[in-house]
Amino acid sequence: MNYLALLLLTAAVLLGMYLGLLHMQGRRRLVLVGLHLLLGVGGLLSLALLLRATPGVEETYAPLATLLLALAALTGAGAALLRRAPMAVNMMLTTHAGIATLGFVLALAWLVAP
């Protein structure tokens, strides 16, 4: 299960980086955005299931990582809803990327720790 969460979150991050580059070029690929959403939510759900199944997880970074990834999902959804206001979309996507990066690094530190 650790590897599933790690694989899904890594794929979501890499696809998100590609989507960020496309956004900076002014292009959108809605199918890729949907795939990014599915990978991110799948990684978040698998991380949440690991939280329930792992004893002594309260002393690690995992709860904070899960909270940050959930906030990243909310800001990503907010960016999709605000697509008519370009400045607001840019602010939401920047917030989404920052929160998701921090959550991914914390989840990575927990998942690969011995």
Determine the pLDDT at residue 74: 95
89 neighbors 62 (Cβ within 8 angstroms): no
In this prediction the pTM is 0.90
pLDDT higher than 90, residue 84: no
pLDDT mean across residues, the chain: 91
Q: H or E stretch including 1?
A: none
pLDDT at 1 > cutoff 80: no
Per mean pLDDT, which of 8-12, 25-29, 51-55, 87-91 is the most reliable? 8-12
> Cα(90)–Cα(94) distance, rounded to whole angstroms?
6
